[in-house]
Amino acid sequence: MRYRVWHRTTYTYDEDVSNSYGLAHVVPRASPTQHVESVDVRIEPTPGDATRDMDYYGNAVTYFQVTSPHRTLVVDATSEVEVVPPVHDPAVLATPWEQARPADRPDVDGAWRAVDFSLPSTLVDQTEQARAYAAESLVPGRPVGEAVTDLMHRIHADFTYDKGATTVTSRIDDVFAQRAGVCQDFAHLTLSCLRSHGLAVAYISGYLATTPAPGRERVVGADASHAWAAVWLPDGSWLALDPTNDQWANDRYVTVARGRDYKDVPPVKGIIYTDAKSSTLDVQVDVAPLV
């Protein structure tokens, strides 16, 4: 599937900002299953300096500095991307999950890089509660594909999608206490559960192409960013799981960035110099299929 992805982030301040330093993850990530055909990132006001680069995890990043006084900052990104459905080797999915710990697989090329995703991170603790919850799915000798998919099903069934239940800084204990959250929380929960058993799991930020209800037209700008998880497999590939929608990621998922948790890959982050006391944030996203 081919898509045109538009993501606009607008910050508005009640006083002038004299200087803005920013980092944006708004360009889709290139991979064997995702070909980025074109990219256009525009920042208003025009930055004095803007650079596109690649971060440690292979994500496309845009660094910028706006030095002219401003009360509104806009980061506008338009990309065209082709996504093909991932194909996983059934024999690899049938491997006992205990053999999918990258720290124990020096025989697999690149396994050492995946170890980083098996460790605790800023927003994802490896709690005893998460370990016990995951243990119901990770029974000894169970095939890794079956085990992690079962965990995905259980998270989807046991936790309620509720935008008001958590914040971007909520921890794993908060999600368990509320038994509710949003896609970011469910991705973090998946990470905590599987990492607590030695598996490597990455946080994925991106978009999910949606289809309007029958009889409804597409509303431009009404889509949203999405988050899911990807589990390292013992052939060096990754199995992407979406506990929010209870399915493996397919060609409707556009990946922007991969990190250890949300803290690594927010769409926009930075530092501003200002006396402003308040600000507003507006985000518009559109994922439109292309013929």
CATH 2.60.40.2250 segments of the chain:
2-83+266-290
pLDDT of 100 reads 98
Q: Which two tokens stand for residue 123?
A: 């927003």
One pLDDT digit (tens) per residue for the chain, 291 residues: 999 999 999 999 999 999 999 999 999 999 999 999 999 999 999 999 999 999 999 999 999 999 999 999 999 999 999 999 999 999 999 999 999 999 999 999 989 999 999 999 999 999 999 999 999 999 999 999 999 999 999 999 999 999 999 988 889 999 999 999 999 999 999 999 999 999 999 999 999 998 776 766 665 555 889 999 999 999 999 999 999 999 999 999 999 999 999 999 999 999 999 999 999 999 999 999 998
pLDDT of 218 reads 60
Q: How far is CA 184 from CA 123, 155, 199, 206, 260, in A?
A: 11, 13, 19, 11, 12
pLDDT of 80 reads 98
Q: Which option is the CATH number for 90-263: 3.10.620.30, 3.30.70.360, 3.30.505.10, 2.30.30.280?
A: 3.10.620.30
pLDDT of 288 reads 94
Phi and psi at 151, nearest 5°, equal -60, -45
Report which DSSP code applies to 179: T
CATH 3.10.620.30 segments of the chain:
90-263
pLDDT of 220 reads 57
Bridge-partner residues for 191, per DSSP? none
> Quick one: fold of 2-83+266-290?
Immunoglobulin-like (2.60.40)
Residues 287 and 5 sit within 8 Å (Cβ to Cβ) = yes
pLDDT of 213 reads 63
Which segments of 77-236 does DSSP mark as H helices, in order?
90-93, 111-114, 128-135, 144-158, 172-178, 183-195
